[in-house]
Amino acid sequence: MMRTFRGGLLIGLAIAVLVAAAAVTYELYDTRTLKRTVRRGEVYCGVNKGLPGFSIPDDKGNWTGFDVDFCRAVAAAIFDDPSKAKFVPLDANERFKELQSRKVDILSRNSTWDMSREQNFDLYFPAVAYYDGQGFMVPRSRNVDSALSLDNSKVCVQAATTTELNLADYFRANNMKYEEVKFPQLDQVLKAYDEGKCDTFTADVSQLYALRLNLSKPNDQVILPDVISKEPLAPVVRQRDDDWMMIVKWTLYAMVNAEELGVTSKNIDEALKSKKPDVMRLVGNEGSYGEDLGLSKDWAVRIIRHVGNYGEVYDRNVGEESKLHIPRGMNQLWNAGGIMYAPPIR
């Protein structure tokens, strides 16, 4: 009798130890994204399958876009080589699950940061990379320059979306009347607008600029400066890996700070000789900011040299040098008309 009891106890204990060990390993594994990335020699990035300006592959499989460049910046910070980023196209529905199941290290996929997403999926959005929001497109000939002048308009909108709800809220709040012209698919909405069935077309501002390219006369359309909803697009990482989160967050902030300080991919070698304290800290000539991230002294130099500062990445993909021509708007630096603001590297 005694023997069996002892045996049972031992087996039970062994199982408990094994389970505990497995749990600890799992936890440790989860907090070692940087180590895994370095061992693998590549950052795995979850991206949109095809969104002009943000992430889109060409026929040879070369990816371009704002979200893609952000991932390249992280790869550059770690490996001094922006090509060490592998892009994994993910659906809108599966994206958060795939990040959670560690299929990717970062999600850089035009994802709106909100509270429920952080809570329900155990995720963390380190910093806003792009301030998007809902806006309006109108024919240039109408000479409208404010959304408040849209009273009694026929509005083209995609049915059963947050866009439709925001539209209703905005018009109600401003005591304006409107008539919805809605369709289930976005291309149907666009077609209706192109055929002149509405006075205005509402969608997220970045979408309006992209969709405008598909209209028969893009230059006869203007996008109003008003933004009526908050769609802060941000990269996403898993909770509980603070070291990795810090790398992703400060990669973005290094790019924003670089723009503010006037450091670009073109003058980076000049910046390395600068005697301005802010610039010296950014390029690693003062302090040990890179080492403290688990990276090298010149982490930010690598980002700026290979990928560029925030403004360069914006202009190239969605701004003046791109087909989209989206004005900087809210994404301009805080001291130049916008709200893009990075805490200092100090």
Partner 1 sequence: MTKWRHLILSLIGASGLALSTSASLAQQPQDPGDQPGLVADDSFQADPEWQKQMVYYRTTEPPGTIIISTAERHLYLVQPGGRAMRYGIGVGRDGFQWQGLLNITKKAEWPDWTPPPEMIQRQPYLPRFMAGGPGNPLGARAMYLGTTVYRIHGTNQPWTIGTKISSGCFRLVNADVSDLYDRVPVGTKVVVRQKPEL
Nearer to partner 1, 90 or 313 (CB): 313
In whole angstroms, how close is the CB of 279 to partner 1 at the nearest point? 6
The Cα 96–Cα 40 span in angstroms is 22
Residues 181-240 that bind partner 1 (CB under 8 A): 219, 222, 224-227
For residues 71 and 263, which CB has a smaller minimum distance to partner 1 in the complex? 263
143: Cβ contacts below 8 Å, ≥ 6 apart: none
Q: Is 19 helix (H, G, I), strand (E, B) or coil?
A: helix
CA–CA dist 110, 49 (Å, integer): 11
Candidate residues 339, 343, 344, 346; the one interacting with partner 1 per rule CB under 8 A: 339
**CA–CA dist 44, 42 (Å, integer):** 6
168, 156 contact by CB (below 8 A): no
Q: How far is the CB of 124 from partner 1 (least distance, A)?
A: 28
Query: Among residues 224 and 247, whose Cβ is nearest to partner 1?
Result: 224
Closest Cα to residue 178, out of 195, 187, 166? 166
Nearest CA to 281 among 312, 304, 256, 254? 254
Using the contact rule CB under 8 A, the part of the chain among 30-38, 88-96, 232-240, 262-270 near partner 1 is 262-270
Nearer residue to partner 1 within complex by CB, 100 or 274:
274
What value does the CA radius of gyration of the chain take, rounded to a whole number of Å?
24
Burial class (CB in 10 A: 0-12, 13-18, 19+), 52: buried
Judged by CB under 8 A, does residue 151 bind partner 1?
Answer: no
Binding flag, residue 254, partner 1 (CB under 8 A): no
Q: Could you say whether residue 288 binds partner 1 (CB under 8 A)?
A: no
Give the range of 44-52, 229-237, 255-263, 301-309 binding partner 1 by CB under 8 A.
255-263
What type of residue is 289? Y
Binding mask 309-338 for partner 1 (x = CB under 8 A): -----------x----x-x-xx-x-x-xxx
Q: Write out the two tokens for 94.
A: 């599966």
Compute φ and ψ for 260, nearest 5 degrees: -60, -35
Residue type, 25: T
Which positions from 52 to 91 touch partner 1 by CB under 8 A, shown as an x/- string? ----------------------------------------
Separation CA 301–CA 258 (nearest Å) = 9
Kindly tell me which residue out of 31, 100, 161, 274 binds partner 1, with binding defined by CB under 8 A: 274
Q: Which of 263, 301, 303, 345 binds partner 1 (CB under 8 A)?
A: 263
Residue 143 interacts with partner 1 (CB under 8 A): yes or no: no
Reduced to 3 DSSP states, what percent helix, strand and coil does the chain have, rounded to the nearest 5? 45, 15, 35
Least separation in angstroms between CB 265 and partner 1: 14
Q: How far is the CB of 321 from partner 1 (least distance, A)?
A: 9
Residue of 302, 169, 326 whose CA lies nearest to 247 = 302
Q: Closest CB to partner 1 among 199 and 259?
A: 259
C-alpha distances (whole Å) from 289 to each of 80, 153, 280, 282 are 16, 54, 11, 8
The correct pick among 21, 83, 267, 291 for binding partner 1 (CB under 8 A) is 267
* Least spacing, CB of residue 318 vs partner 1, in Å: 12
Structure tokens at 76: 């550059």
- Shortest distance in whole angstroms from residue 79 CB to partner 1: 26
Yes or no: say if 265 and 72 are a contact pair by the CB < 8 Å rule. no
Binding site for partner 1 (CB under 8 A): 145-146, 219, 222, 224-227, 260-263, 267, 270-271, 274, 276, 279, 320, 325, 327, 329-330, 332, 334, 336-339
